[in-house]
Structure 1
Amino acid sequence: MSDADAAGLPDFRRLPVREAIRWLAEHGEPEDPRPDIDTASLERRFPHLRGIETVEHTVDGAQGGVPVRLYRRPGAEARVALVWVHGGGFIGGHLDMPESNWVARELAARGIPVLAVDYTKCLGQAHFPAPSDDVLVAWRSAPALLGLPADRLVLGGASAGGNLAVGVAARVRDGAEGPLPGGLLAVYPALHANSANPGVPLDPASPHAQLALNFAGSVDALSDPHAFPGEGSGAGYPPALVVVCERDALRPSGESFAGSVRAAGGTVELHVEPGAAHGHIDQPGDAGALRTLDVVSDWLHARQG
């Protein structure tokens, strides 16, 4: 029996997308049934995470307040920091999920301050650009909250959060108000309308297609390079690290984007995590997740100059 079954929760991985959206819109985000992923449990499991300071903030967004959380290791004098956006298929996820909270604590423990960002979920009437707008306003606030100039900040995210991070960088590149980040981090990102097969028409019946259309809000928006930045030019991005998983159906999206940036003359590093599946950094202590965090940490530290 899975943790979800034991807690009496629906298995969102097996529910049709429309049913999952209806359930979440009606009931809200359920509590994660895993018993050892809360902060106290993480600190017991990983003593090096003890003492990380967190501060809750809210920045003003078009849809209301956007929750953000700042993580720091006391006494650490960093010259680079990360603005980090969790995933969740654009319909779920939050600041306490391991992909946000554990990842941020691990990187803060390694001397990299992190500003974790939440955003509007696409449930019911909300679609692009609502989540992107939230990440954009959080990004504009990041230099003041982190105390570093934008060229010392990396904007990054995982899965849907990777889409939003890269999409905000594309929007700023193309004229939206705000500074271009000093670097870009995308972990198993969904950057194309068809992230499993970039360039191939979507199968409307597939879960990937339904999630993409639910986020985009219309068929026309599926080709919007700010909604799905893999559909646009790879030119003009800051230096980037793209992490993909060997056993992830969305691996082609990250690889295609990295190739597009490279072909446009940009600087991009592609890391393939062997044996890993989509969502592996939402599993605290997973061997592949720890390797990925080592890669990310090393890349971020190298950006300190």
Structure 2
Amino acid sequence: MAAGPAADAAPATTPVTVAGWVLDGPHGDLRVRVYEPDTEHRVAGLVWAHGGAFYRGDLDMHEADGVARYLAARGVVVVSVDYSLAPTFEGADRAPAPGAGSGRTDARFPVASREMAFAYAWATGADLGVRPDAWSIGGASAGGNLAAGASLRLRDAAAGVPGVVPTPSGAPVPPAPHSVVLAYPVTHHVLPPASDELLAALRGVAPDVSFPPPRLRAMNDNYLGHDGGPASPYAFPGGQDLRGLPPTMLVTSDRDALRAGGEAYAAELVAAGTEVVLVREEGTRHGHLNQPQHPGCGRSLVRLAAFLTGGTDDTALEPPA
């Protein structure tokens, strides 16, 4: 494994330039926001998707903007994707932000999944100072689902499967990602059983952040547009053929029902031969990258930066105490 930056020394930061783009996406206009370090030395690239239960979230939330600014200041060019959103569903805990999701709030699978893969294809071909083979893909919560599903699309496209990755006009099929980074992702259509330890950790956690099974099923079915389960392997990556995927980092929240899915997905990746770094962020609940004042958010940002800029050596992923 490649060594990363020393655990007791924070990486140097640089100023960041931010610009919005409107791409001619596979389902109409697709907005992205590009975060570039103000230096010619660009360590890596990342195409990133925020969370929001598939039906809400935007590029201004800390899980999008805060994460992107932190990583860009450490040499990672970040393309944050304003993917199309699904409709609000019965039992949803919050309304979507006005104008979020590239202006669409009626999109079902595979719209956002295809948009994520398209954004990756665009980024690898854009003149952003990062080699095509140095780009990674990632996301948080529902955005983690989109990133993981897109990693399957990109793997299959690189192997010659036609039509699974929409590309900008005239652009070649992009290379498979250098790596995948996922924060508390939605990995399975039906969540794997929680361990006794996780059930104990969830006691007292509010339903809107603990994902009781009926709410999670309603959320996932709303994304699919039906209650018959996924027909495509790209909808929910858990339980699919995961062979041939790039190194993956999973950061889970401690008191989060989705941790069961993230841990199960990590085990599936390992069984398929993928190099995996799995971190449980102690003392956190689901969505902790949206809580910039929580120490767990800062720890996770350090870990993500170390993984993207320095490889997968465990000592490089342990932030200073």
After TM superposition, the score normalised by the length of structure 2 is 0.74
Structure-2 separation of matches of 1:84 and 1:267: 20
Matches within 5 A, 1:33-182: 51-75=15-39, 77-123=41-87, 125-145=106-126, 146-174=128-156, 175=161, 176-177=164-165, 178=173, 179-182=175-178
Structure-1 separation of matches of 2:213 and 2:43: 47
Alignment partner of 1:269 out of 266, 277, 301: 277
- Partner of 1:82, secondary structure, is strand
Structure ranking higher on relative contact order (CA contacts 8 Å, 6+ apart): 2
Alignment partner of 2:216 out of 181, 202, 208: 208
CA contact (8 A) 1:60 1:137 kept: no
Structure-2 separation of matches of 1:155 and 1:98: 18
CA contact (8 A) 1:110 1:297 kept: yes
Are residue 285 (structure 1) and residue 311 (structure 2) matched?
A: no
CA contact (8 A) 2:85 2:106 kept: no
Question: 2:123 corresponds to which letter in structure 1?
Answer: A
**Alpha-carbon displacement from aligned partner over 1:168-206 (angstroms, at most 9, x marks no partner):** 1112223324331110011000010023638xxxx9971
Structure-1 separation of matches of 2:259 and 2:74: 27
- Partner of 1:273, secondary structure, is strand
User: Could you tell me how far 1:274 is from its partner in structure 2?
Assistant: 0.6
Where do 5+ consecutive residues of structure 1 fail to align? 1-47
- Partner of 1:275, secondary structure, is strand
Structure-1 separation of matches of 2:282 and 2:232: 32
CA contact (8 A) 1:53 1:72 kept: yes
Equivalent residue, structure 2, for 1:194: 190
Structure-1 separation of matches of 2:290 and 2:29: 25
Structure-1 separation of matches of 2:83 and 2:231: 22
Alignment partner of 1:233 out of 231, 237, 241: 241
CA contact (8 A) 2:239 2:268 kept: no
Structure-2 separation of matches of 1:268 and 1:120: 29
Structure-1 separation of matches of 2:263 and 2:296: 18
CA contact (8 A) 1:117 1:138 kept: yes
Measured at CA, do residues 58 and 211 of structure 1 come closer, stay the same or move farther in structure 2, by a change above 3 Å?
Answer: same
Question: 1:55 corresponds to which letter in structure 2?
Answer: A
- Partner of 2:63, secondary structure, is coil
Measured at CA, do residues 76 and 290 of structure 1 come closer, stay the same or move farther in structure 2, by a change above 3 Å?
Answer: farther
Structure-2 separation of matches of 1:157 and 1:211: 18
**Alpha-carbon displacement from aligned partner over 1:57-80 (angstroms, at most 9, x marks no partner):** 111113211111111221251231
Structure-2 separation of matches of 1:284 and 1:266: 31
**Which structure: greater helix fraction?**
1
Equivalent residue, structure 2, for 1:5: none
CA contact (8 A) 2:191 2:213 kept: no
Structure-2 separation of matches of 1:253 and 1:128: 20
Equivalent residue, structure 2, for 1:222: 230
CA contact (8 A) 1:195 1:253 kept: yes
User: Could you tell me how far 1:49 is from its partner in structure 2?
Assistant: 8.3
User: Could you tell me how far 1:84 is from its partner in structure 2?
Assistant: 0.7
CA contact (8 A) 1:216 1:222 kept: yes
CA contact (8 A) 1:152 1:304 kept: no
Structure-1 separation of matches of 2:245 and 2:213: 33
RMSD value, Cα = 2.4
CA contact (8 A) 1:85 1:156 kept: yes
- Partner of 1:157, secondary structure, is strand
Measured at CA, do residues 133 and 298 of structure 1 come closer, stay the same or move farther in structure 2, by a change above 3 Å?
Answer: same
